[in-house]
Amino acid sequence: MKLRRVVQDGPALSRVVAVAWAALACALVAEFSRSSWIHPHCAGSASGPAGSGSGAAAANRTAAPPPAAPGTGPGWQEVDALIQQGPARHGKQVKQPGGVPANLTLLLVHMTNHDANLHGVPAGIGPGLFRWFAHAHTFNKSAGQSNRLLQSPVPACHFYVDHRYRILYIRNTKTAGTSISSMLGMKENPMACLNPQWCYAKCKGKRVCMEYLWDEKELRRVFQEYTVFAFVRNPWSRAISSWHHVDKYGLRQECQDSFGKFAEVPSAYGAKCLAYQGKCCRKRFGWILEHIEPQTRCLFTAEGQPVVDFIGRVENVDEDMQALLDLVNSRRPMGTEALTAPPLPKLMVAADELSGKEEERRRRYAQLYMNNTALEDIRRYFHRDFTLLQYNSSIPWAESGIDGGIVLGDAAGSLAVLGSSTSSLADAAGGGVGGDGGQQSGAAADGAGGGSSGTGQQAELAAAQGFPDPREMAMKG
């Protein structure tokens, strides 16, 4: 009934946005039911993506645009040097006393993989996701819209704890996580653990056996008492790896986009997955999003202070892993043996045809950023990664500014057209976009009610933390 009211009241919002919300509601019904039955109201959204994707681009995952005319742009070596830079913030950190990731309750609500039978689906489905979907699915860069605040509420991280060595690993996707967890030792996710043979395979013969940690109360304790670490990666390099990985394992060929198109608003891949269901995706939408979204959401407090004791660089992974183990060993409990680290294996290489061909891989990856606006688009979308981790975000040869465009504008223009109807927007959608570090409006916290953590505490937390008003976010350039 509420879905129908949203659509019928469309003029108070924007017809495009209202239809997008309706499409998401239908998609979520299908996502959870996995049923072939389609409600008549949803029948119109069941067709495939008209004209989306690029089968030709998918045929050669590392195909680069035609070379620029001599003297008109940077060479691939210049681009490569830019996207391979490590962060200025790395190594041992001064962890804020009592600090936990910003909006921890909402992070856990939107985190995937709680349920083995719903692998890749967030624990909670609510208005924060609705609002993100409406804008990501209708994004139009040619209309001057900006991707700066179009991140979804789904985080890219998971928390893994080992109580014997008192360590907490914040594992972000596409940051050498498979290699690190295989070297240290890690219990698999709930879906993989349905097969006992796989569940503890990475723990065999290891002193460490990290396991998922979901409980918020326990997490808050562990953040204070254990050694907390994470590894990070240059956002420009990570975006290419995400695009390759999601195309390889998550999207059907007819729905894949060129890298330049993907870079315009990366989370649109997840929105596409929801909108067209089995027509586009081999994985669920949460799996798509967690392999794309920013890596700093679980690493910093709301004030931008680190919640980790150590930040490692993927660009210097062997060196930094040894530095991490030196720190862990200096704090290890009495009676435990010192940890050692062999060189990390390179696992889950996205472009199989370039495995073992490092120079060729770097050349082709760099060329993906040439003769398009992908460098600026990725910099804008992952602006918090660049800022909080202190990556050099300067593009010497670029002329355009970093923050141009209408933020969160829908296809009709921008949310400013809502005027006095913003109360209807809040009633219908419940709050703000999940982007810009995972912050949402207070009303969006009600969206957490789809999860298992309980709506009352989440709503109170959101109100206490004072999330930004989505109408204000809409007007920022």
Q: Residues 390-444: pLDDT tens digits? A: 999 999 988 544 444 443 333 222 222 222 222 222 222 222 344 433 333 332 3
Torsion 275-281-287-293 (CA) sign: negative
Contact 456, 105 (CB under 8 A): no
Q: What is the pLDDT of residue 455?
A: 34
pLDDT tens digits for 269-292?
999 988 886 788 999 999 999 999
Q: ∠ CA 400-406-409 to the nearest 5 degrees?
A: 145
Q: Which of 190, 122, 456, 180 is nearest to 321 (CA)?
A: 180
Residue 201, number of CB atoms within 10 A of its CB: 15
Q: What is the pLDDT of residue 297?
A: 97
Look at residue 220 and tell me whether its pLDDT is greater than 60: yes
Confidence bin at 320 (pLDDT 50/70/90): very high
Look at residue 31 and tell me whether its pLDDT is greater than 80: no
Q: Residues 235-241: what's their mean pLDDT?
A: 97
* Token digits of residue 12: 């108070």
Of the listed ranges 81-95, 315-329, 410-424, the one predicted with least confidence: 410-424
The helix (run of H) or strand (run of E) holding residue 24 is helix 15-33
**Domain encompassing residue 27:** 1-477
Of the listed ranges 16-30, 117-131, 380-394, the one predicted with least confidence: 16-30
The helix (run of H) or strand (run of E) holding residue 21 is helix 15-33
Please state the domain count of the chain. Answer: 1
CA distances to 202, 291, 444 from 109, in Å = 27, 17, 12
Confidence bin at 223 (pLDDT 50/70/90): very high
Look at residue 157 and tell me whether its pLDDT is greater than 80: yes
| Residue 330, Cβ density class (10 Å: 0-12 exposed, 13-18 middle, ≥19 buried) | exposed
The alpha carbon of 359 is separated from its chain's Cα centroid by a whole number of angstroms, namely 28
Look at residue 2 and tell me whether its pLDDT is greater than 50: no
